[in-house]
Amino acid sequence: MADFRSDTVTKPCAQMIAAMSSAQVGDDVYGDDPTVNALEKRVAEMFGKEAALFAPTGSLTNQLAIRSLVKPGEELLTELTSHIVRAELGAGATFSGITTRTWEGSRGSFKASEVMRIAAPEAGPYLVSTKAIAIENTHNFGGGYVQSFDEIKKLREASSAVGLTMHLDGARIWNAHVASGVSLKDYGSQFDTISICFSKGLGAPVGSAVISSAERIAESRIWRKRYGAGMRQIGFLAAAANFALDNNISRLVEDHDKAKQIANACAQVSPEFIDAAGIETNIVALDLSGIKISAAELNAQLKEEGILASALGPKFLRLVTHLDISDSDMAKVLEVLPKLLKRALVAK
């Protein structure tokens, strides 16, 4: 099967497994795993921050970050389709008592002026006060959209002026960095907390990190344990992340090129399916609203042809390219997907 469901489905290569098997390890709950300590120091420095904390998932690192910025009963602003509010199962409300309010942006984008228009800092004793803003970059449900760095800077300036903090859901910040040319330190300079993933485009089997000030990370370490995610000899996993950082950032351009090829093939059938010119990274989000077939039905047809994709809504089908997508996988999807779309278009 050609697996385009997500960039989380990759398997460790032989060299990554060798790095894992030779890792020096200790008990991380006691703080004496040298490999994970080195990884945390490394990624903090990459983004220009004081400290970082390794965790099993990006959902957890998002939640650790926002609870360090927003108290129970206070408000987080984010985009309508962001991962934090759409795909983390109400974790902010369940675990931290955080209320959220959203704006709707094309492909998950934002204008700083529009975000600040709905912000309510210091709302008084009868209304909910906004305390933080979360930006997702790249935006998953926005088809891998890369946020405008100019708008990020404008939002940082305007929100800081009224005492608001900012969180970066950077699960795929590596893709944004490669596609935009904006440095990781520049991204880091605009946010108080950052969540990053090693298990998506970088190809590690598991692992994320939350990055911030030393004080916030010390608090997050307590909450990681409280949530049951204190781990022991995790240097084996940290070694995979280090290998990924060493070897798999620059090659993301290959994934971006493959996604562009798929998008172009679909747009040639009909531009109503996708704006191929807007594909910058590794996610292809198809809009099937103009045809009768549902995303689930098209997904089933693809599976019959040996291709796995993700139906993430009634009319939303997503394909994601990654380092395990082979040339034969690409040949197959470039032949089969346009054929199925043409058939569906005729049937509409």
**DSSP letters along 97-110, please?**
--EEEEE--GGG--
> In this structure, is residue 241 part of a structural domain?
yes
Contacts of 151 (CB under 8 A, 6+ apart): 109, 110, 111, 112
Do 339 and 255 share a structural domain? yes
User: What are the C-alpha distances in Å from 256 to residues 79, 137, 144, 196, 285?
Assistant: 24, 15, 10, 19, 13
Smallest Cα–Cα separation from 318: which of 287, 274, 285?
A: 285
- Residue at which a domain ends, from 187, 217, 247: 247
Which pair of tokens denotes residue 8? 């989380």
Round to whole Å and give the CA distance between 197 and 169.
9
**Amino acid letter at 75?**
E
Does 138 sit behind a cis peptide bond, omega within 30 degrees of 0 on the bond before it? yes
pLDDT of residue 323: 97
How many whole angstroms separate alpha carbon 8 and alpha carbon 187? Answer: 23
Q: Are residues 337 and 219 in the same domain?
A: no
Residue 212 has pLDDT above 70, yes or no: yes
Q: Are residues 102 and 211 in the same domain?
A: yes
Compute φ and ψ for 251, nearest 5 degrees: -75, -5
Secondary structure (H, E, C), 108-150: HCCCHHHHHHHCCCCCCCCCCCEEEEEEECCECCCCCECCCHH
Residue ending a domain, among 247, 280, 314, is 247
Share of the chain above pLDDT 90, in %: 99
Q: d(Cα 52, Cα 42) in Å, to the nearest integer?
A: 9
222 lies in the same domain as 263: no
**Final residue belonging to a domain, choices 217, 247, 277:** 247
Number of domains in the chain: 2
Whole-number Å distance between alpha carbons of 82 and 96: 18
* CA 207 – CA 205 distance, rounded (Å): 7
Mean pLDDT throughout 323-340? 98
Looking at the structure, do residues 63 and 176 belong to the same domain, yes or no? yes
CATH number of the domain encompassing residue 55: 3.40.640.10
Residues 216 and 310 in one domain: no
User: Minimal CA–CA distance to 233: which of 23, 39, 33?
Assistant: 33
Judge whether residue 196 has pLDDT over 80: yes
Structure tokens at 98: 């955080």
Residue 42 shares a structural domain with residue 148: yes
Residues counted in the chain: 348
pLDDT range class, residue 346, cuts 50, 70, 90: confident
Q: In which domain, by residue range, is 85 found? A: 14-247
Q: Taking a C-beta distance cutoff of 8 angstroms, is the pair 29, 231 a contact?
A: yes
Predicted local confidence at residue 348, as pLDDT: 65
Mean pLDDT of all residues in the chain? 97
Whether 335 has a pLDDT exceeding 70, the answer reads yes
pLDDT confidence of residue 34: 98
Q: State pLDDT tens for residues 66-80.
A: 999 999 999 999 999
Q: Which residues contact 332 (CB under 8 A, 6 or more apart)?
A: 2, 305, 306, 307
Q: What is the pLDDT of residues 32-66, one digit of tens each?
A: 999 999 999 999 999 999 999 999 999 999 999 99
Secondary structure of residue 286 in the 3-state scheme: strand
pLDDT digits (tens, 9 = 90+) for 172-182: 999 999 999 99
- How does residue 347 score in pLDDT terms, banded at 50, 70 and 90? confident
Residues 230 and 263 in one domain: no
224 is a domain residue: yes
Would you say residue 200 has pLDDT above 70?
yes
CA distance 194 to 186: 12
Assign residue 327 the CATH number of its domain. Answer: 3.90.1150.10
pLDDT digits (tens, 9 = 90+) for 115-128: 999 999 999 999 99
**pTM score:** 0.96
